[in-house]
């Protein structure tokens, strides 16, 4: 006779890890909000190589995060590590574009202005941190669940042997 | 506990076409009732009225004494299994079986236990992570049944659930339904046009034609004592042979043949002297070695039996199911005799039984 805890574990054999999967998708949503906010940056600062690389990386990020969301949905442990790496990169991106842009001034109509305003800077940083947090949470939840499921399946196989 | 009563149920569509006439039955708890009849006889319509998928034009539907005639389908506590399975292709078998309970917002752990229990009963435990497209027709039908079982409904309704399966799978799934009924001891209504399903599954059969109930009884009653020529012809495979005969001088005289009757048979037909009646003889009640000469035109070996089709008397067609393996050729003559006879009134088509008049 299974207790409630065992039933909860046993359920995972047939149900998807939707928590991790949805968190990974949410991370993509925050990334979209990030780059939509970022591309409002002052045009003089906009046309740089680093901005081009950022656009390309966004595409790579969305693909990787989406595939990982499908992976963690099926309790694949390896995708937790992929999500962690993506999360670290999201944090690192704060230092690559927003901080330098926030420290740079451009001349608009003779006036010296910040390339990225305080408000815009705060928003993009929040989006990147939120995106990273979702990725870390998705990875952590998946790690815990997949390990528990693995142990449960091993115990079931032990009972059957 | 689920007793279902249908009292004077009619179904009249908006265009004034009447599909079901005065349907009456009291179904006992745990009983398996099979509605059988040809296409368009109103059996599926009756089932859909019970399920709440069709409005009941007249009459009352009672479940455990409670009138549910106007109760919506979702509140009737009945589960229906359809011919086409109606599974969600994008969901796994587990999710399909759990779906109705998820909609009811039941506790996930309770859902899990119910789904596993149903899967165990139906032998689907190893298939739970698969999609319906990965299963065979029989397995899909079992999933459809499992989806009903998890709900623990008061009444199970089956609408020709085996029609999409091949003959072998149909036999196997039929046995599974029978075992399921014994295991759950649930009240079930089952619609089919296949009389083999009806005879093997039913506690009682309701035989329908043109919206009218022709006979309600146990499979043996319908086979052995059909109420009329329709039931006699519908139940039994190959169907019963019918001959127009006249009862005269203690014998039945047909076109070009004569059949002697026993004293008991004569007594049954006492009121029909010199009147025309319909004689019914099942192919399996015909044996070799009688006084009737039959000219064979077809011989079908079925293994244990041989189905012989021929003409007797004044070109009257007759089919006989003879024991063993026979090799008659077209044009051969064979002497046959009728072992058991059924008599029907020529005008009313009703069975003539001793003491009827």
pLDDT given for residue B278 in this prediction = 96
Q: What is the pLDDT of residues B166-218, one digit of tens each?
A: 888 888 888 888 888 988 889 999 999 998 899 999 999 999 999 999 999 99
pLDDT of residue A61 exceeding 90: yes
pLDDT given for residue A43 in this prediction = 62
Q: What is the pLDDT of residues B62-92, one digit of tens each?
A: 999 999 999 999 899 999 998 888 899 999 9
Q: What are the structure tokens assigned to B282, written together? A: 């099942």
- Contact yes or no for B92 and A14 at CB 8 A: yes
For chain B, where do the domains classified as CATH 3.40.50.300 start and end? 4-233
pLDDT given for residue A100 in this prediction = 87
Which ipTM score applies to this complex?
0.74
pLDDT class of B340 with cuts at 50, 70, 90: very high
Q: What is the pLDDT of residues B135-166, one digit of tens each?
A: 988 889 889 989 998 988 999 999 998 888 88
A112 shares contact with chain B (CB less than 8 Å): no
User: How far does B144 lie from chain A, in Å, by closest CA?
Assistant: 18
Within 8 A of B92 by CB-CB distance, chain A residues are 14
For chain B, where do the domains classified as CATH 2.40.50.140 start and end? 240-345
Q: What is the pLDDT of residues B20-62, one digit of tens each?
A: 999 999 999 999 999 999 999 999 999 999 999 999 999 999 9
Give the integer Cα–Cα distance in Å for B234 and B66: 35
pLDDT given for residue A160 in this prediction = 65
B125 shares contact with chain A (CB less than 8 Å): no
pLDDT given for residue B164 in this prediction = 82
Q: What is the mean pLDDT of residues B304-311?
A: 94
Give the integer Cα–Cα distance in Å for B201 and B198: 5
Quick one: fold of B4-233? Rossmann fold (3.40.50)
pLDDT of residue A45 exceeding 70: no
pLDDT class of A44 with cuts at 50, 70, 90: low
Superfamily of B240-345 according to CATH: Nucleic acid-binding proteins (2.40.50.140)
Kindly report the three-state secondary structure assignment for every residue of chain A.
CCCHHHHHHHHCCCCCCHHHHHHHHHHHHHHHHHHHHHCCCCHHHHCCHHHHHHHHHHHHHHHHHHHHHHHHHCCCCHHHHHHHHHHHHHHHHHHHCHHHHHHCEEEECCEEEECCCHHHHHHHHHHHHHHHHHHHHHHHHHHHHHHHHHHHHHHHHHHHC
User: How far does B127 lie from chain A, in Å, by closest CA?
Assistant: 10
User: How far does A158 lie from chain B, in Å, by closest CA?
Assistant: 17
pLDDT given for residue A101 in this prediction = 85
Q: What is the pLDDT of residues B226-259, one digit of tens each?
A: 999 999 999 998 999 999 999 998 899 999 889 9
Pick the residue of B91, B97, B109, B143 with the most A CBs within 10 A to test the interface with A by mutation: B109
Query: A 7-36 residues with CB below 8 A of B?
Result: 7-8, 10-11, 13-15
């Amino acid at each position: 006779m299974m207790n409630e805890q065992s039933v909860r574990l046993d359920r995972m054999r047939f149900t998807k890890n939707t928590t991790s999967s949805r968190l990974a998708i949410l991370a993509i949503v925050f990334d979209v909000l990030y780059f939509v906010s970022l591309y409002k940056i002052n045009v003089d600062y906009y046309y740089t190589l680093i901005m081009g690389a950022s656009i390309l990386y966004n595409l790579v990020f969305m693909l990787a995060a989406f595939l990982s969301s499908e992976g963690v949905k099926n309790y694949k442990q390896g995708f937790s590590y992929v999500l962690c790496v993506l999360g670290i990169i999201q944090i690192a991106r704060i230092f690559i574009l927003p901080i330098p842009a926030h420290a740079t001034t451009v001349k608009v109509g003779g006036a010296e202005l910040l390339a990225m305003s305080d408000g815009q800077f705060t928003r993009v940083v929040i989006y990147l941190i939120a995106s990273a947090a979702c990725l870390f949470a998705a990875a952590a939840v998946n790690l815990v669940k997949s390990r528990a499921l693995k142990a449960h399946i091993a115990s079931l196989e032990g009972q059957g042997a | 506990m689920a007793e279902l009563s249908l009292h004077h149920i009619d179904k009249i569509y908006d265009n004034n076409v009447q599909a079901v006439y005065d349907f009456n039955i009291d179904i006992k708890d745990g009983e398996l009732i099979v509605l059988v009849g040809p296409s368009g006889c109103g059996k599926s319509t009756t089932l859909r009225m019970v399920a709440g998928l069709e409005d009941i034009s007249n009459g009352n539907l009672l479940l455990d004494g409670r009138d549910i005639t106007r109760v919506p389908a979702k509140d009737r506590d009945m589960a229906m299994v359809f011919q086409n399975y109606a599974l969600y292709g994008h969901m796994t078998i587990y999710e399909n079986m759990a779906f109705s309970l998820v909609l009811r917002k039941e506790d996930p752990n309770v859902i899990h236990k119910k789904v596993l229990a149903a899967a165990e009963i139906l032998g689907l435990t190893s298939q739970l992570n698969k999609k319906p497209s990965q299963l065979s027709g029989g397995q899909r039908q079992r999933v459809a049944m499992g989806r009903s079982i998890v709900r623990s409904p008061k009444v199970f309704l089956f609408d020709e659930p085996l029609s999409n399966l091949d003959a072998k799978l149909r036999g196997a799934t039929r046995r599974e339904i029978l075992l399921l009924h014994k295991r759950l001891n649930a009240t079930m209504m089952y619609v089919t046009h296949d009389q083999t399903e009806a005879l093997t599954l039913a506690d009682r059969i309701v035989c329908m034609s043109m919206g009218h109930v022709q006979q309600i009884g146990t499979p043996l009653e319908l086979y052995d004592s059909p109420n009329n020529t329709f039931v006699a012809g519908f139940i039994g495979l190959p169907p019963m042979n019918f001959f127009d005969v006249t009862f005269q001088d203690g014998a039945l005289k047909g076109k070009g043949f004569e059949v002697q009757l026993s004293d008991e048979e004569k007594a049954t037909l006492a009121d029909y002297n010199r009147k025309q009646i319909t004689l019914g003889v099942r192919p399996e009640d015909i044996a070799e070695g009688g006084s009737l000469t039959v000219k064979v035109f077809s011989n079908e070996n079925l293994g244990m039996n041989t189905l012989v089709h021929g003409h007797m008397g004044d070109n009257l067609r007759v089919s006989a199911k003879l024991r063993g393996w026979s090799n008659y050729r077209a044009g051969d003559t064979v002497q046959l005799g009728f072992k058991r006879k059924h008599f029907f009134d020529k005008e009313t088509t009703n069975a003539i039984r001793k003491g009827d008049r």
